[in-house]
Structure 1
Amino acid sequence: MAHRVLTGAPRGWVRTPVPARIAIIYLLSRLVTTGFFALAAAWSSVSSRFGAAPTLGDYALGWDAQWYWTVAVFGYPTALPVNDAGQVLENAWAFMPVYAYLAQFAGLGDWGAGAVLVSLVSGYLACLALFRLLRTRIGATAALWAVAFFASGPLAALFQVGYAESLFVLLLLVAIDLVSRHRYGWLYLVIPVMGFTRPGVLAFALFLGLHGISRWLTRDRHPLPVKDIVHIVALGALTTVVGFSWQVIAGVVTGDPGGYLKTELSWRRNWLSDASEDFIPFEGFVRGAEFWAEQWGMPTWAGWVILVVLVIGAAYALLRARSVRRLGLDIRLWSASYLLYLLAVFFPQSSTFRLLFPLTPLAGAVAVPRSGAYRWGVLLVCLLLQWVWILAMYGSARTFWQIP
């Protein structure tokens, strides 16, 4: 049955509309994820953050969902909270408003129900958008497998909890598809919504710049109308403005121009006792390499070597890997832009895996090999990693690195 759903080879499934096939894959995946959550709850102990015998609702509203609920119910603070040393503490300004208020609207006052509904619906629509994005690049069968890997992947729990990731990825996939099809007009609506859903839209500004350069360099083979040039430049400017606007808004409301960055850096102090008070691009990953090397009992230089190897490996995969190259230039440019953005702004810790979610289009590269045994093996690995992630971040969450 599952094989027929994924491949679409039997006659009945060929006649089944693609949205229905994707819906079946998605619903089956959600049932599995629900089962994983139930198992994690059954195994949870009093030492877990969620205590003994938590409900699925407790998990859905755990961790960052509490911050989005705070935004929806109480709004944003006009005065930044500080500790005795005058350092800004964690607060709601780190969380964008679109998902928080959309969940409140969708739940008709029951924020938790609305949050899960928005995440679930966004996840399904993101599966449709992923299929549309990949179908012409790797074929319908491989694109359907990519959807299965996405819906059942290590981070599939995000489709059922109060996090903004599934909504952001939906908007992102739509935006990449619009760019790749040169249908720029709709992006004037998509980009602002995406920019106020979660951080990361500045990476999209870089992507638009690289996309524009690539179109300019290939204009002899692929026409580049003046109107497209105008759109690319205007959208790049709009995305940049949107990307920095939240910092400006936070500064105006709180009276502290650096309030947003100080808020983001406050989370870093949970990991580094001597974290810098000022944002320095790329410092997070350098300090992170040193931190994790120390945690693993290795010399500092070993952490730097691991970081360099990871960066070189990612660059090689995007530039040279045949399965990645099949996805097309725009997906590779987006992936490179987003990875560079993470290197510039993020401190690597347990949330790193979640922050890789916007690299979802690369699922197509994993789906390219045609071997049925290989694809079923990948799906099994996805499910196993999903279980490990749910158990670590929810079922047994009690140490400093178990934060989704």
Structure 2
Amino acid sequence: MSGRIAVVYLLARLVTTAFLLLAAGRSTSLSRFGVAPSLREFIVGWDGQWYWWVAVHGYPSTLPVTPDGLVGENAWAFMPVYAYVSDGVGFGDWAVGALTVSLVSGYLACLVLHRMLSPRIGASAALWAVAFFAAGPLAALFQVGYAESLFVLLLLLALEAVLRRRYGRLYLILPVMGFTRPSILAFALFLGLHGILRWVRRDREPLPVRHVVHIVALGVLSTVVGFAWQVICGLVTGDPSGYLRTELAWRRNWIVDASPEFVPFEGFVRGAEFWVGRAGLPPWVGWTLLVLLVATAAVLLLRDPSVRRLGPEIRLWSASYLLYLLAVFFPQSSTLRLLMPLTPLWGAPASSRSRLRRWGMLGLCLLAQWLWILSMYGLADTFYRIP
């Protein structure tokens, strides 16, 4: 099966390369990348430029301040693992290293995804899930300087460890994962919910004391790691809120009156108001749409048969991560990229036995991938075309 996965992944990468080349041909002087950019320019574009900066220059000891006295955009928003691993793998050529890390991580993630889903939906359906993942809307992230590919690999390894009750592996995975992308607190919530589920079902699945100790200890570890970067940033810069204020600097690109301090769940509420406001609609329309969106996601995770087939752990992780996004992010053009950690949910459409539905889903994946690449790398000319 690993050979088939390799073929699927290779074909998907060839398609993505073709899409990137086509997007480069559509790029104009209005684009962030200029006329006819090279694939190398795409690799180090957008967030890739920030990761390169971290690898070469490190992190600032003094936070930049805007004319109105607020913290400006800076490298502290980008975790160190991907930046430095890419630099090491590329032996000083960061773009080569980043491409290698993203490509290899994506392939390994495909292997883990198939291994994780096969017992739940069957080997053939799991291969379709791999195809959707490898050729999906965000497939370009396997070939550019973004940390998502590496993070998803670590996440899938962590989820697989929980599914197999191999908790000891997590002591090595979670710290690396926590310094790759800022989503480890979602995993802490997942571990808490997983522990409650194990306790409720202890009459059907024995719950040894050592498992209880592992779950509690790992929950504490992931929580500590989740706040560690904020502490490190505060110690280096002398500003205890430096990391959160750095993250908020990007939010001010969207709303000029953004709060100078982080307030949980404010981002999505303000985002709902912002997007309906651009259509000339009152704020309550945005609030209503947000409630409907959350309710729809909850119904799918709780009631949809194809999602339920994936098992409670995958559903608990998905719910934990979505709640985390609601709590900390502002919905904008990068939101689609931030959904990549929901990768295990590809098992839901893949579990369909209809060949027409499977091929139709693959076609939609490729279409969405092309539109995303064209918008974010080909056109790249306005505020809602930022990956």
Listed as ranges, the matches of 1:277-356 within 5 Å are 277-356=260-339
Query: How big is the shift at 1:139?
Result: 0.4
For each residue in 1:180-231, what CA deviation from the matched residue of structure 2 results, as whole angstroms up to 9, or x when unmatched?
Answer: 1110001000000000001100000000000000000000111000000000
Number of equivalenced pairs: 387
Supply the distance in 2 between the matched residues of 1:194 and 1:184 (Cα, whole angstroms): 15
Say if 2:3 is the partner of 1:44. Answer: no
d(CA) in 1 for partners of 2:277, 2:357? 37
Alignment partner of 2:204: what SS? coil
CA distance in 1: counterparts of 2:79 and 2:177, whole angstroms: 10
Q: What is aligned with 1:11? A: none
1:38-94 per-residue CA deviation (whole Å, 9 max, x = no partner) reads: 000111111111111111111111000000001000000000000122110000000
**1:104 lines up with 2:87 in the alignment:** yes
Question: Of 135, 139, 162, which residue of structure 2 is paired with 1:179?
Answer: 162
Q: Deviations over 1:162-189 (max 9, x none)?
A: 0000000000001001001110001000
Aligned to 2:243: 260
Please report how far the alpha carbon of residue 336 of structure 1 lies from its aligned counterpart in structure 2 after TM superposition. 0.1
Distance in structure 2 (CA, Å) of the matches to 1:253 and 1:366: 46
- SS of the aligned residue for 2:167 comes to coil
2:60 is equivalent to residue 77 of structure 1: yes
Q: Is 1:120 aligned to 2:106, yes or no? A: no
Residue by residue over 1:349-370, the C-alpha shift from the partner in whole angstroms, topping out at 9 and shown as x without a partner, is: 0000000000000000010111
Q: In the alignment, residue 292 of structure 1 is paired with which amino acid?
A: W
* Residue of structure 2 in register with 1:152 after alignment: 135
Provide the C-alpha distance between the structure 2 equivalents of 1:299 and 1:23, rounded to a whole number of angstroms: 50
Instruction: State the secondary structure of the residue aligned to 1:248.
Output: helix
For 1:92, the aligned partner's letter is A
- Could you say which residue in structure 2 is the equivalent of 1:31? 14
Cα distance in 1 between the residues matched to 2:217 and 2:225? 12
Deviations 1:265-295 (A, max 9, x none): 0000000000000000000000000000011
User: Residue 211 in 1 paired to residue 194 in 2?
Assistant: yes
Structure 2 counterpart SS, 1:185: helix
C-alpha deviations, 1:283-342, integer Å up to 9, x for none?
Answer: 000000000001122221111111000000000000000000000000000000000000
Structure 2's unaligned 5+ residue stretches are none
Q: Aligned residue for 1:358?
A: 341
Structure 2 partner of 1:232: 215
**Gaps in structure 1 of 5+ consecutive residues:** 1-17
Hey, which bits of structure 1, 4+ residues long, moved more than 2 A? none
Question: Which letter does structure 2 place at the counterpart of 1:130?
Answer: L
Q: 1: distance between equivalents of 2:317 and 2:303? A: 16
Q: Which of the numbers 99, 115, 132 marks the counterpart of 1:132?
A: 115
SS at match of 1:245: helix
Cα distance in 2 for residues equivalent to 1:265 and 1:21: 44
Q: CA deviation at 1:20?
A: 1.1
Corresponding residue for 2:42?
59
TM-score for both structures, normalised by structure 2: 1.00
CA distance in 1, matches of 2:348, 2:204: 26
CA distance in 2, matches of 1:347, 1:284: 4
Letter paired with 1:303: G
- The RMSD of aligned alpha carbons is 0.5
**Aligned residue type for 2:153:** L
